[in-house]
Amino acid sequence: MKTLKVFAGLFVLVWVSMGQVSGAGAGALLQDLENQLMCKCDDKCGKVLINCTCATSDKTRAKFSKMLESGLTVEQIVKMQVDEYGETILSAPTKFGFNLTAWMTPFVALVAGGFGVRKVLQAWVGKKTGSGSEETPVAEPKISEKYSKRLKDELDGIEL
Amino acid sequence: MNDIGEFTLLVALATALYGCVAYVMSARGNRIDLYLSADKTPFIVWACIAISSICLWKAFLTDDFSLQYVWAYSNRELDTFYKVSSFWGGQKGSLLFWTLLLSTYMLVVYFQNRSKNLRVVPYAMAIMLAILVFFLFLINFSTNPFERIPLPPEDGRGLNPLLQNYWMVIHPPTLYLGYVGFTVPFAFAVAALISKNLDDGWIRMTRKWTLISWFFLCMGNLFGASWAYVELGWGGYWAWDPVENAAFMPLLIATAFLHSVMIQEKKDMMKVWNMSLILLTFAMTIFGTFITRSGLIQSVHTFDEATLGYYFLAFLFVIIVACVALIISRLPLLKSANELDSFLSRESSFLFNNLVLLGIAFATFWGTIFPIISEAVRGVKITVGPPFYNQVNVPIGLALLALIGIGPVIAWRRATLSNLKKNFLKPLIAAIVAAVVLYPFIPLGSRTEIYTYTTFVLCVFVLASIGTEFYKGTVSRMGLHEESVVGALATVTWRNKRRYGGYIVHIGVVLIFAGIAGSQAYGTHTEKHLQPGESFEIRGYTIKYEKLIAVEATNIKTRIIAQLAVERDGRRYWTGHPEKEFYKGQNQPVSEVDVLSTWKEDLYMILADFREDESATIKVYVNPMVSWMWTGGWIIAFGTMISMWPDRLEQRRRLDRVRKQEQLFPAPAQE
C-alpha cells in the first residue's frame, strides 16, 4: 500500500512538472501593447492597433518596438499615449472610477439574474409540492422494489 | 425605368398602409368584405417592391449614373458580379433590399397561412405591413435610391474595394435573411397578444420561421467572420465591432428563445418570458440597423451617409413601449400553472441556459453603448474594444458551454441522484481523462491559456454527453429491431429530428468554441522584410520569398503579388500568393491574403509592403484550429436542416396529444 502511494505521488509530481508555462518575450510585450491601444489613423478606422493594417498602424508599431527596446515598459508607453491622446486611445475602459461600472455591471446583472432564476425555480417547485400536500393521501399500491426501480429508470429516460 | 421604380415604391407604401388598416378593421369588426380586400395587398406590395428592385438592379447593370446611388457605388469597370451586390452596398439600396426580403417573407407567410387561424393571421399580416410602411416611408421620403443627378457623370465613383469580395454577395443577404426573418415570429407574437390567442399556437406556426431566421443569422455571423478573415488582413476574424455585436445579440436572444419555447410547448409554462424574448430579439434587430445607420457609435461597418438614426430610435421606442404595454395588459391571460417537479431538471437547466445567453447578450449590449453612457456622464468618450469583451464574455461563455453538456443528459421533470450518476458518469470521466491528457501539452502561463485549457476540457465533456445520448438511442433501437449500428443511428435521428438535429447543432457549436479557443491562445505571427531568395522560419514552416509579380488586372485595378514558397522538412509544400490591390482613386491599397488551411492550423500570409528594388515585407500568421470554426458552421447548417425537416411522426404525436387533452377537458357545450 505504501509503495502504491509512493508511485501515485511520483506520478502526480511528474504530471504536474510536465505542465508548460509560456514566457513573455519582446514580441509578446509588443502584442500586449497593441492589444491595449487603438489605432490613431486619419481614416478613424476604429480598430484596435493589433487588428489594424493601415500605414499609420505600421509606423506606430515600429515606434513602439523602439520604445520597448529602449527599456520603457508597456505601462509607461500606455500612460504616455493616454497623456497625448486621452482615454479614447485605450482599447478598453480603465478599471477605476466610473469606468469600473463597465466591468462590474454585466456580472452584477448576471448574479442578480441568477438569484432571480433561483427564486423563480424555488417558487415553482414549492407550488408543485405544496399542491400535492393539500390532497388527501392515497394509499400507494405496493409494488416490488425491482419494478419500482425499473419504472423510475424508464421515466427518467422519457422524452415528453 | 427609374420613374417606374420610384412610382412603384410610392404605390407599395400606399398599399401597405391601406392593407395594414384594412386587416385590423376587418379583424376587429368581423368584416369579410374588408378582409377580402386587405388580403390582396401582400401580393401587390411585394410586386411593387420587386419591380422597384428590378429597376435599381437594371440601373446598376446598365451603368445608369443618372442615379446618385448607382454613381456612388458602381462604375463601368466593376465586375457584373459586384454590380449585382452593389445593390446593398450603401444605405439606400440596403434598405430597399431589406424591404424586398421582408415583403417576400410576408408573401410566403400569406400563402402558408391565409386559410388558417383567421383570428391571428390578419393581425400578423397587419404588423408586417406596418413594419413595411416604416421602411417604405424612409425609402420614399428620406433615403430614396432613385434620387437623380441633374447632369449625369460619365463614370461612377465605384464600390469600396473592401466590398469587392465574393463574400459581399453572400454575407449581407444571409445576415439580412436572419434579421428580417425574426419579423415573422414577432408579428405572430404581437398578433397573438392583440387577438388574445395566447396558447402555443403562434409558437407552432412560427417555429420553422424562428429556426430559419436563427440559422441565417448564425451563418451570417460566421460568413462575416470568414470575410473579415480573408479580406481585412489582420489575421483575425472577429473584432467586437459595434455592428458585429449588433448581429451577435439577436442571435443570443433568439437562441434563448428557441430553448425556452420547448418548455412552453411541453409544459405550457413561461408564456410571458417567451413573449418577451421574441420581442427583444426583434428589437435587437432594429437596434442593429440603428447602429449601422445612425453614426452614433463608431464602427467600420457604418454606412457613409448614416443619417437615419433618429427614425430608427423612434421606431425602436414605439415598438418597445407598445409591446411592453401589450404584454402588461395581457398578463392575466398569460398566466400559466408554472409548476416544476424538481430544482434539478432539464427545465431548470434551460432557465440557466437562458440566463447565461442573456448575460452574454447584456454584456455585449452594455459594452456597445458604454461609450455613449461615458460621454453623457463624464463628457469623455471612451473605447470599448476586444479586451473588454474577451474578459467579460469568455467566462460566461464557458458557463454556457458547460450547460450545453449538462442539458442533454439531465432528465426532464426530475433528475434523481441515480439518474444523475448514470447520465453524468461517462461524460465526466471523459472530461477528467481529457484534462489529464491535455495538461502536459498545453501551456498554462496566462489567463487566456487557462481559459483555453478549460474550453477544451468542457468541449470533450459536451461531446461525450451528446455522444452518450446518440449511443443510448442507437443501442435501444438495436435492442428492439435487428438493425446495424449505422442504420439504428440513422433511424433514431430521423424519427426524432428535432431532438437529434439539436444535438448535431450543439456539436457544431462545440467545434466553434474549440476553434476560437485554439486560435486565440496558440497563434503566432512574424513579420520580415526580405529580398527575393531570402527565407525565414515559423513553427516548422520555411517561407521563401521568390519574386514579386505586377499584373494590370483592369483599367482601374493593379495587382502586386508576392510569390512565396512554403517548405516543410526540406520539401516544397505549397506556394502562397498574397497580394496588394491598387484601385484608381483610392488612397489605401487592399490586402488580399493567401491562406493554407488544414485541420491543425492555418498558414496565413500577407504582403504588408514592397519596394521598387522588389524587396517585400511579408507577415505570416500561424492560426491553429481556425478551420474548426468553419466546419462547426457547416455542422450547424446540417443539424438545423435535420431539425427543420417536416416530421409526420411529430405531427401525429401532437394530434394524439390534442385529442387526449380534448377527451380529458371536453369543450363546453354550445348553447
B197-254 per-position pLDDT tens digit: 888 788 888 888 999 999 999 999 999 999 889 887 778 898 888 888 999 999 999 9
Q: Which of B342, B416, B444 sits opposite A125 (nearest CB)?
A: B342
Closest by CA to B149, choosing from B55, B57, B50, B59, is B59
- Decide if B496 and A106 are in contact by the 8 Å CB cutoff: no
The span from the CA of A126 to the CA of A146, in Å, is 30
Output the pLDDT for position B650: 65
Higher pLDDT, A40 or B329: B329
Q: Which of A26-35, A118-127, B607-616 has the highest mean pLDDT?
A: B607-616
Output the pLDDT for position B667: 47
Q: Which three cell numbers stand for residue B49?
A: 417592391
Residue A46: φ, ψ to 5°: 70, 25
Rounded percentage of chain B residues whose pLDDT exceeds 90: 50
Closest by CA to A87, choosing from A38, A50, A54, A47, is A38
- Decide if A22 and B443 are in contact by the 8 Å CB cutoff: yes
Closest by CA to B573, choosing from B527, B537, B526, is B537
Question: What crossing angle do the helices spanning B121-141 and B183-195 adopt, rounded to 10°?
Answer: 130
The span from the CA of A117 to the CA of A107, in Å, is 15
The span from the CA of B219 to the CA of B529, in Å, is 38
Residue A12: φ, ψ to 5°: -60, -40
The number of C-alpha atoms within 13 Å of B469 and in the hemisphere containing its C-beta is 25
Please answer whether residues B278 and B108 qualify as being in contact, where contact means their C-beta atoms are separated by less than 8 angstroms.
no
Task: Give yes or no for A53 touching B (CB within 8 A).
Answer: yes
The alpha carbon of residue A1 is apart from the nearest alpha carbon of chain B, in Å, by: 24
Whether residue B324 has pLDDT greater than 80 = yes
Q: Which three cell numbers stand for residue B194?
A: 392583440
SS3 B635: helix
Beta bridge partners of B562: B548
Mutate to test the interface with B, among A16, A51, A145 (most CBs of B within 10 A): A51
Number of CB atoms found within 10 A of residue B56's CB: 26
Output the pLDDT for position B388: 93
Q: Which three cell numbers stand for residue B607?
A: 504582403
Residue B566: φ, ψ to 5°: -105, 120
A55-78 per-position pLDDT tens digit: 788 788 888 888 888 888 888 999
B269-297 per-position pLDDT tens digit: 888 899 999 999 999 999 988 887 766 55
Closest by CA to B467, choosing from B432, B438, B435, B500, is B500
Chain A CA closest to residue B609:
A55
Output the pLDDT for position A135: 42
Whether residue A1 has pLDDT greater than 80 = no
The span from the CA of B200 to the CA of B658, in Å, is 12
B396-423 per-position pLDDT tens digit: 999 999 999 998 888 777 777 787 888 8
Q: What is the ipTM of this complex?
A: 0.81
Whether residue B304 has pLDDT greater than 70 = no
Measured CA distances, B432 to B438, B442, B446 (Å): 10, 15, 21
Q: Which residues contact A33 (CB under 8 A, 6 or more apart)?
A: A49, A64, A68, A74, A77, A78
Please answer whether residues B311 and B138 qualify as being in contact, where contact means their C-beta atoms are separated by less than 8 angstroms.
yes
Output the pLDDT for position B249: 94
Whether residue B357 has pLDDT greater than 90 = yes
Task: Give yes or no for B479 touching A (CB within 8 A).
Answer: no
- Decide if A22 and B445 are in contact by the 8 Å CB cutoff: yes
Q: Which residues contact B56 (CB under 8 A, 6 or more apart)?
A: B5, B67, B69, B70, B87, B93, B96, B145, B146
Output the pLDDT for position B661: 54
Q: Which three cell numbers stand for residue B354?
A: 437562458
Q: Which residues contact B572 (CB under 8 A, 6 or more apart)?
A: B565, B566
CA B260 to chain centre: 19
Helix (H) or strand (E) holding B405: helix B386-409
Output the pLDDT for position B602: 94
Chain A CA closest to residue B375:
A88
Output the pLDDT for position A132: 44
Average pLDDT, stretch B82-98?
A: 90
- Total count of residues recorded for chain A: 160
Mutate to test the interface with A, among B162, B234, B621 (most CBs of A within 10 A): B234
8-state DSSP, A139: P
Output the pLDDT for position A22: 47
**What amino acid is encoded at B593 in this protein?**
V
Rounded percentage of chain B residues whose pLDDT exceeds 70: 94
Task: Give yes or no for A36 touching B (CB within 8 A).
Answer: yes
Higher pLDDT, B78 or A148: B78
B102-161 per-position pLDDT tens digit: 999 999 999 888 777 778 888 999 999 999 999 999 999 988 899 998 888 888 888 888
- Decide if A110 and B355 are in contact by the 8 Å CB cutoff: yes
Number of CB atoms found within 10 A of residue A94's CB: 14
Q: What angle do CA B489, B494, B498 make, to 5 degrees?
A: 115
Please answer whether residues B590 and B583 qualify as being in contact, where contact means their C-beta atoms are separated by less than 8 angstroms.
yes
Measured CA distances, B325 to B322, B330, B665 (Å): 5, 9, 32
Average pLDDT, stretch B365-378?
A: 90
The span from the CA of B103 to the CA of A83, in Å, is 53
Q: Name the average pLDDT for chain B.
A: 88
The alpha carbon of residue A3 is apart from the nearest alpha carbon of chain B, in Å, by: 22
Whether residue B321 has pLDDT greater than 90 = yes
Output the pLDDT for position A129: 63
Q: Which of B210-214, B301-305, B532-536 has the lowest mean pLDDT?
A: B301-305
Q: With cut-offs at 50, 70 and 90, classify the pLDDT of residue B609.
A: confident
Q: With cut-offs at 50, 70 and 90, classify the pLDDT of residue A133.
A: very low
Q: Which of A38-52, A98-112, A134-148, B354-368 has the lowest mean pLDDT?
A: A134-148
Taking only residues 5 to 34 of chain A, the set having a beta carbon closer than 8 angstroms to any beta carbon of chain B reads: 15, 18-24, 27
Closest by CA to B236, choosing from B245, B247, B227, is B227
Pairs of residues, one from chain A and one from chain B, whose beta carbons lie less than 8 Å apart: 173
**What is the residue extent of each domain of chain B?**
1-160, 165-401, 402-522+633-640, 524-627
Higher pLDDT, A6 or B598: B598
Q: With cut-offs at 50, 70 and 90, classify the pLDDT of residue A11.
A: low
Q: With cut-offs at 50, 70 and 90, classify the pLDDT of residue B349.
A: confident
- Total count of residues recorded for chain B: 671
Output the pLDDT for position B301: 59
CA B18 to chain centre: 33
Q: Which three cell numbers stand for residue B449?
A: 491559456
A18-33 per-position pLDDT tens digit: 444 444 455 678 888 8
The alpha carbon of residue A95 is apart from the nearest alpha carbon of chain B, in Å, by: 10
Whether residue B662 has pLDDT greater than 60 = no
Show the 3-state SS of B257-299: HHHHHHHHHHHCCCHHHHHHHHHHHHHHHHHHHHHHHHCCCCC
Task: Give yes or no for B300 touching A (CB within 8 A).
Answer: yes
Rounded percentage of chain A residues whose pLDDT exceeds 70: 59
Q: Which of A15, A50, A153 sits opposite B440 (nearest CB)?
A: A15
Please answer whether residues B566 and B574 qualify as being in contact, where contact means their C-beta atoms are separated by less than 8 angstroms.
yes
Q: With cut-offs at 50, 70 and 90, classify the pLDDT of residue A87.
A: confident
B568-592 per-position pLDDT tens digit: 888 998 999 999 988 877 777 888 8
Show the 3-state SS of B416-445: CHHHHHHHHHHHHHHHHHHHHHHHHHCECC
The span from the CA of B357 to the CA of B466, in Å, is 20
Closest by CA to A149, choosing from B637, B502, B136, B418, is B418
